[in-house]
């Protein structure tokens, strides 16, 4: 049996849709009630819904064989899994943004960056060869440069509306994000055929979506 | 308030946890001893230099300053210290040399990742037996040790670090490109791999090689599959060697227990030939890993070929539970009769475990068997 951890929320609907297109028995997932684990009515698979960070943890520890989770979460984790597929759903990007007059890439002197994603931020500025101080913020990151807590922010942007409303502009794209399939290292070996079948089905479902 | 807890990544083991771990330790010791491996014990502390010369990742090493301000480390693995011992204390000894150990090793890991910073490795190192003779011997020894897992689903996966590295050398890839490719392949980060390979200035055929490589794992038919993408003689030579190794293992009856992974890359930089890992269902990471490291002892002053493996006892102990068959009795006595009780207990201890219990509510010594 294959156990699959799905990320709750934004990605959930799109992932379930892909599974549905592959004719998996996901009725239970669509009509959730209070259940936590959802058996597939056609395949030997059970699904469970967890928060993005937990999805990675469940897969790393082998409690889930396969997980579907955003690249943003993976970039902040420590890589104890295989990232085998890009589902091409849940697309957005990490951006560097600030007030129009605050282009930190051109600033001389000390730079402070506010972000929920310190690992991504650190890696990005290291690539740029810039020394920055990172300030971890948990919510409403857009507020930080306005109030002067930091010079700029690294955050996820979907449509850009929030940024615009707060008068912030994008200076650079840090990286593109989409949902990925991750696999536990031991499961990849011991359940290779089942996993490959699931991946192939998902791959076909993505192709169909592209034609639409 | 003072808190009395253990540092991150360390743990106390109690009761059944200790029983399980000691049972495994004893089991593997017995097997290794019967294969002719002698025990070696090295200090928990080593000079930093010993590990840095073996290219252990700097940030994974615990570092302490000693009284004379030299950097001392908590040993990060056992292969490096034993190679140091062999290259120095055994430099004029006849080969082969066989050593076993069961020891705690220390690695700094990411906080709260659920990984242990202190863990117990139980393993063997075989010095002075070249490939392929030594390879087969050590693989069979590993399979012998793993036979304990009968009833669980497990596999010993074999690869060769040169399959990837020779391909890179043949294409004269730059060091930074090799590192990037290795990282993507190691994590089977297929999207990044594909994007990166597409940007490399190499032919389509060679791009195909790197894109297919992560999928070259599975049963023994993988070797034949790999032939179709192997683009030069040295790669075919590796496949030939692997094939004959697997044929021999098959002949010995291990076909079901082995598999191939040609995309396997070593955890440690010092490996030079075949590398292998064992995986068991229910455990997220490998439970046994090893490989050939023919150039490590050279860094300590003497060139001796070597191969070995280590079993991760802590991971395995969570999978297998051992019930001791030893009978236990409780001997209760009134305090006035303690000497008599000690005498009786001494006799009983020849055959059973005896726990003493002072109890002034009773008049005579009572013996009760524990459930």
B117 touching A (Cβ < 8 Å): no
Is residue B96 reached through a cis peptide bond, with omega within 30 degrees of 0 on the bond before it? yes
According to the model, what pLDDT value does residue B251 have?
97
What is residue A78's predicted lDDT score, i.e. its pLDDT? Answer: 77
User: Of the ranges A189-203, B1-15, B137-151, B337-351, which one carries the lowest mean pLDDT score?
Assistant: B1-15
Q: Do B190 and A188 touch (CB under 8 A)?
A: no
Nearest chain B residue to A77 by CA: give it. B113
pLDDT at B59 over 60: yes
Check CB contact of A186 with chain B, cutoff 8 Å. Answer: yes
Q: What distance in Å separates the CA atoms of residue A69 and residue A12, rounded to the nearest whole number?
A: 9
DSSP string computed for B286-339:
-SEEEEE-TTHHHHTT----EEEEEEEHHHHHTT--------EEEEEE-GGGHH
- % of residues, chain B, pLDDT over 90: 79
Q: Is B94 on the interface with A (CB under 8 A)?
A: no
Quote the pLDDT of residue B202: 93
- pLDDT of B112 over the 60 cut: no
Band (pLDDT 50/70/90 cuts) for residue B111 is low
Instruction: Read off the pLDDT band of B319 (50, 70, 90).
Output: confident
pLDDT attached to residue A96: 96
Kindly list the residues from chain B whose CB atom is less than 8 angstroms away from the CB atom of residue A192. Answer: 217-218
Mean pLDDT of B64-78: 93
In percent, how much of chain A has pLDDT > 90?
65
User: Is 70 exceeded by the pLDDT of residue B328?
Assistant: yes
Chain B residues closer than 8 Å to A188 by CB = 188, 217
Mean pLDDT value of segment B78-96? 96
Q: Binning pLDDT at 50, 70 and 90, where does residue B326 land?
A: confident
Average pLDDT, integer, range B311-335:
88
Subunit contact A80:B285, Cβ cutoff 8 A = yes
| CA separation, residue A206 to residues A6, A22, A42, A85, A194 (Å) | 17, 9, 20, 11, 19
Q: Over 90: is that where the pLDDT of B290 sits?
A: yes
pLDDT(B37) > 90: yes
Confidence grade of residue B150 (pLDDT, cut at 50, 70, 90)? confident
Q: Is the pLDDT of residue B322 over 90?
A: no
pLDDT for B110 equals 64
Parallel, antiparallel or unpaired: strands B258-261 and B217-218: antiparallel
pLDDT given for residue B34 in this prediction: 97
* Residue B362 pLDDT exceeds 90: yes
With a CB-CB cutoff of 8 Å, which residues 6-65 of chain A face chain B?
57, 60-62
- The mean pLDDT value for A162-166 works out to 91
Give contacts of A60 with chain B, Cβ < 8 Å: 113-114, 284
Three-state DSSP string of chain A = CEEEEEECCHHHHHHHHHHHHCCCCCHHHHCCCCCCEEECCCCCEEEEEECHHHHHHHHHCCCCCEEEEEHHHHHCCCCCCEEEEECCCCCEEEEEEECCCCCHHHCCCCCEEEECCHHHHHHHHHHHCCCCEEEECCCCCCHHHHHCCCCEEEEEECCCHHHHHCCCEEEEEEEEECEEEEECHHHHHHCHHHHHHHHHHHHHHHHHHHHC
Asked if omega into B132 is within 30° of 0 (cis), the reply is yes
Query: Taking residues A155-183, what's their average pLDDT?
Result: 93
Mutation target among A186, A190, A193 for the B interface, most CBs of B within 10 A: A186
Q: Which pLDDT does position B58 carry in this prediction?
A: 85
Decide: B289 and B271 in contact? Cβ < 8 Å: no
For residue B282, name the pLDDT band (cuts at 50, 70, 90).
Answer: confident
Least confident of B84-88, B232-236, B280-284: B280-284
pLDDT digits (tens, 9 = 90+) for B113-143: 556 889 999 999 999 999 999 999 999 999 9
- A177 close contact with B: CB closer than 8 A: no
Considering CB atoms only, which of B113, B217, B280 is closest to A186?
Answer: B280
pLDDT confidence tier of residue B6, bands split at 50, 70 and 90: confident
Say if residue B212's pLDDT is above 60. Answer: yes
* Mean pLDDT of the residues in chain B: 92
Report residue A211's pLDDT band, with 50, 70 and 90 as the boundaries.
low
Residue B40 confidence (pLDDT) above 60:
yes
Closest alpha carbon within chain B to A83: B189
pLDDT digits (tens, 9 = 90+) for A55-98: 999 998 889 999 999 999 999 887 889 999 999 999 999 999 99
- Dig out the tokens for B251 from the structure: 């002949």
Q: CA of A175: which chain B residue's CA is closest? A: B192
Mean pLDDT computed over B84-108 = 96
List residues bridging with B217 in a β-sheet. B261
Say what the pLDDT of residue B281 is.
83
Of chain A, the percentage scoring pLDDT greater than 70 comes to: 99
| More confident position, B319 or A58 | A58
What is the least distance, in Å, from the CA of B188 to any CA of chain A? 5
Among B59, B154, B191, which would you mutate to test the A interface (most chain A Cβ atoms within 10 Å of its Cβ)?
B191
A175 interface with B at CB cutoff 8 Å: no
Mean pLDDT, rounded, for B41-51:
95
Residue B336 clears pLDDT 70, i.e. is over it: yes
Chain A positions in Cβ-Cβ contact with residue B286 (cut-off 8 Å)? 185-186
- Considering only alpha carbons, which residue of chain B is nearest residue A86? B191
Contact A192/B at CB under 8 A: yes
Strand order in the sheet with B71-74: B45-47, B71-74, B63-65
Residue B1 is predicted with a pLDDT of: 61
* φ and ψ of A25, to 5 deg: -85, 75
Stretch A109-137: mean pLDDT, rounded? 92
Question: What ipTM does the predicted assembly reach?
Answer: 0.77
Q: Would you place residue B151 in the very low, low, confident or very high pLDDT band (cuts 50, 70, 90)?
A: confident
Q: Is the pLDDT of residue B43 over 90?
A: yes
Spell out which residues of chain A touch residue B218, defining contact as CB-CB under 8 Å.
192
Q: What is the pLDDT of residue B223?
A: 95
Please list, in sequence order, all residues whose beta carbon lies within 8 angstroms of the beta carbon of residue B357, skipping any fewer than 6 positions away: B330, B331, B332, B333
Contacts of B189 in chain A (CB under 8 A): 82-83
Question: How distant is the Cα of A1 from the closest Cα of chain B, in angstroms?
Answer: 12
Mean pLDDT for the stretch of residues B249-260: 96
């Amino acid at each position: 049996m294959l156990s699959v951890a799905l990320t709750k929320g934004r990605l959930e609907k799109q992932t379930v849709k892909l599974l549905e297109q592959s004719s998996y028995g996901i009725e239970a997932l669509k009509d959730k009630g209070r259940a936590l684990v959802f058996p597939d009515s056609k395949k030997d698979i059970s699904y469970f819904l967890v928060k993005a960070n937990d999805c990675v943890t469940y897969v790393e520890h082998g409690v889930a064989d396969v997980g579907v989770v955003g690249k943003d979460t993976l970039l902040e984790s420590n890589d104890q899994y295989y990232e085998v597929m890009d589902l091409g759903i849940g697309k957005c990007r990490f951006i560097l943004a600030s007030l129009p007059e605050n282009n930190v890439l051109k600033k001389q002197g000390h730079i402070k960056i506010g972000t929920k994603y310190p690992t991504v931020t650190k890696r990005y500025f290291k690539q740029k060869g810039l020394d920055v101080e990172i300030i971890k913020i948990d919510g409403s990151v857009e507020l930080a440069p306005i109030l002067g807590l930091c010079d700029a922010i690294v955050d996820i942007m979907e449509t850009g509306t929030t940024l615009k409303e707060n008068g912030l502009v994008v200076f650079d794209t840090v990286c593109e994000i989409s949902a990925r399939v991750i696999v536990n290292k031991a499961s990849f070996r011991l359940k290779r055929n089942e996993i490959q079948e699931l991946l192939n089905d998902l791959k076909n479902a993505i192709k169909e979506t592209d034609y639409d | 308030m003072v808190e009395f807890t253990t540092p991150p990544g360390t743990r106390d083991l109690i009761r059944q946890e200790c029983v399980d771990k000691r049972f495994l330790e004893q089991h593997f010791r017995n097997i290794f001893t019967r294969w002719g491996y002698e025990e070696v014990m090295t200090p928990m502390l080593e000079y930093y230099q010993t590990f840095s010369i073996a290219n252990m990742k700097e940030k994974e090493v615990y570092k302490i300053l000693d009284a004379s301000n030299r950097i001392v480390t908590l040993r990060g693995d056992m292969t490096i210290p034993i190679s140091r011992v062999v290259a120095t204390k055994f430099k004029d000894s006849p080969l082969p040399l066989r050593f076993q150990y069961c020891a705690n090793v220390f690695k700094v890991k990411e906080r709260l990742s659920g990984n242990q910073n202190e863990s117990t490795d139980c393993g063997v190192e075989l010095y002075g037996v070249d490939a392929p003779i030594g390879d087969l011997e050590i693989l069979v020894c590993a399979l012998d040790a793993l036979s304990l897992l009968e009833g669980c689903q497990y596999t010993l996966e074999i690869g060769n670090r040169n399959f990837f590295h020779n391909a890179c050398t043949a294409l004269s890839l730059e060091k930074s490109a090799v590192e990037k490719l290795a990282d993507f392949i190691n994590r089977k980060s297929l999207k990044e791999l594909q994007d990166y390979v597409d940007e490399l200035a190499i032919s389509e055929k060679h791009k195909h090689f790197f894109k297919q490589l992560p999928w070259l794992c599975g049963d023994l038919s993988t070797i034949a599959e790999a032939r179709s993408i192997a683009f030069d003689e040295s790669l075919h030579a590796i496949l030939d060697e692997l094939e004959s190794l697997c044929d021999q293992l098959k002949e010995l009856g291990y076909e079901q227990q082995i598999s191939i992974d040609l995309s396997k890359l070593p955890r440690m930089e010092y490996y030079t030939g075949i590398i292998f890992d064992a995986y068991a269902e229910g455990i997220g990471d490998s439970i046994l890993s090893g490989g050939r490291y023919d150039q490590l002892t050279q860094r300590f002053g003497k060139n001796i070929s070597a191969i070995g493996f280590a079993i991760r006892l802590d991971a395995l102990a969570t999978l297998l539970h051992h019930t001791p068959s030893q009978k236990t009795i409780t001997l209760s006595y009134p305090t006035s009769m303690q000497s008599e009780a000690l005498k009786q207990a001494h006799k009983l201890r020849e055959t059973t475990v005896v726990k003493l219990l002072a109890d002034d509510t009773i008049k005579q010594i009572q013996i009760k068997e524990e459930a």
